[in-house]
Amino acid sequence: MAAAVGAACRGLLDYKTAKFALTRNRRVGLLHRLLQLGVLGYLLGWVFLVKKGYQETDCAPHVSVITKLKGISVTEVKDAGNRLWDVADYVKPPQGENTFFLVTNFIATTKQAQGTCPESPSILDGICREDADCPMGYPVVHGNGIKTGKCVMFNTTHSTCEIYSWCPVENDTLPRGNTLQTSDPAYFKSCTYDPFFNPSCPVFRIRDMVKAAGETFENLALLGGSIGVSIKWDCDLDHPAAQCQPQYSFSLQDRNYNFRTASYYWDPQKRHYRSLLKLYGIRFDISVHGQAGKFSIIPTAISFGTSITLLGAATVVCDLVLLYLDSKADFYRKEKFEEAKPPKDKAEVTA
C-alpha cells in the first residue's frame, strides 16, 4: 500500500511533452484538412462576412424620430359651407413622441350651451316612455348628461330623457368623408418617396403608407384607424453614410380610431357656448430598431482567438480518431507515447 502511494506521488512530478509523429494515414489526413477548411470557412464566411465579427456593435442606438405633416384640403360642412383645413386643423395633437394623428373625417356639433335638452335616441339608457324612466339626478349610462326627471319628445318618433348637459347633444350621424366624394385620382399624391428609386427621401404619401399596411385610404379615412410604422436601421459605419438606409414596414393595428375636442366662446349676450368636434383619423405609431457597427481591434482579436482554438480542436479530434478509432490504433499509440529514460552515469556503469 505504501509503495503504491509513493509511486503515485512520484508520478505527480512527471512532466509530459508533446511528441510529433508523421503518419501516412490518408483518411485521417483528409479529415484534418476538411476540419481546417471548415474552421477557415466559419471564420471568413460566417464570423467576418455575415456577422461582421471584426466590428464593435451597438444594438440599442439612441434614436429620435421627428414627424411633420404638410398639405391643405377643403371639405363641405353641412349648414356651414366650405371649410379650409391646414396642418393646424388636421394634425391632432400637434406633437407626439413617436406618434402622430391625421384627421380624415369629423362630426361637428356647433353652438352648444349648458342647459337642458333631450338625450340622443341612440343612447339606450336615454330612451323613455314616462317620467318614471328618467329618475332625477342619475347620469345617462354612456350618455351626455344628468337626468332631470322628465321624459320629453326628441322628435316625432322618439321620446328620451331630458338631461342637463351641453345642448344640443352631440350629433352622432356619421357623414361621408370628403375623400369618398372626390373623383380626382391625384388628390392625395403630393410626396416623392419611393422605396426603389428614391429611398433616401423621408417624405411619404399617406395613401401609400395605408396601402402598404393592407388597407385603402378611402375605407380607413371614414372611421379612422391605427397603423404601426416600423423602421429598421442597420448601419455599417465602416462604409459611407450614404449606404446607411432605413427599411420601412407598415402594419394595420386597428380599423377604428377617434376622439373629441371642443372650442369654447361667449356670444354678445355673455352666454357660454362651445363647438364640439368628434375627430376620426389615422394614428401612426412609429418604432425604430436596429444596430450600428464599426471596426474595433478587440472583437477582431476575440474572433481570431476563437478560430485558432477551433483549429487546435481539429487536431485533437484527429488524434482521437487516429489513436482510438483507426484499425491500427495500437501501433500509433505505441509510436506516440514513449517514456524517455535518462542515460546512466559512467560511475554507475563501472561499478
d(CA 320, CA 336): 12
> Going by DSSP bridges, is the β-strand pair 247-254/225-236 parallel, antiparallel, or unpaired?
antiparallel
Q: Could you give the domains of the chain?
A: 18-54+296-350 (1.10.287.940), 73-119+169-293 (2.60.490.10)
Give residue 177's pLDDT.
Answer: 41
CA distance 31 to 28: 5
Distances (CA, A) of 239 to 37, 290, 293: 29, 16, 10
* Residue partners of 174: CB distance under 8 A and separation at least 6: 105, 107, 222, 223
Task: Summarize the confidence of residues 269-276 as an average pLDDT.
Answer: 84
Statement: residue 62 has pLDDT above 80: no
Contact criterion met (CB below 8 Å) for 228 and 245: no
Mean pLDDT, to the nearest integer, of 176-193? 43
Segment 172-182 shows an average pLDDT of 48
Would you put residue 202 in left (φ > 0), alpha (ψ -120 to 50) or beta?
alpha
pLDDT of residue 286 exceeding 80: yes
Report which of 283, 346, 330, 313 is spatially closest to residue 101, judged by C-alpha positions. 283
66-77 tens-digit pLDDT: 666 666 667 666
Task: Give the separation between CA 273 and CA 182, rounded to whole angstroms.
Answer: 33
Quick: pLDDT tens for 239-251: 776 677 788 889 9
CB 158 within 8 A of CB 127: yes
Per the omega criterion (within 30 degrees of 0), is the bond before 342 cis? no
Q: What is the pLDDT of residues 190-230, one digit of tens each?
A: 446 677 766 667 678 888 889 889 998 888 888 888 899 88
Give start and end residues of each alpha helix (H) in the chain.
2-12, 26-41, 87-90, 178-181, 206-212, 217-223, 297-320, 329-336, 346-350
The pTM of the whole model exceeds 0.75: no
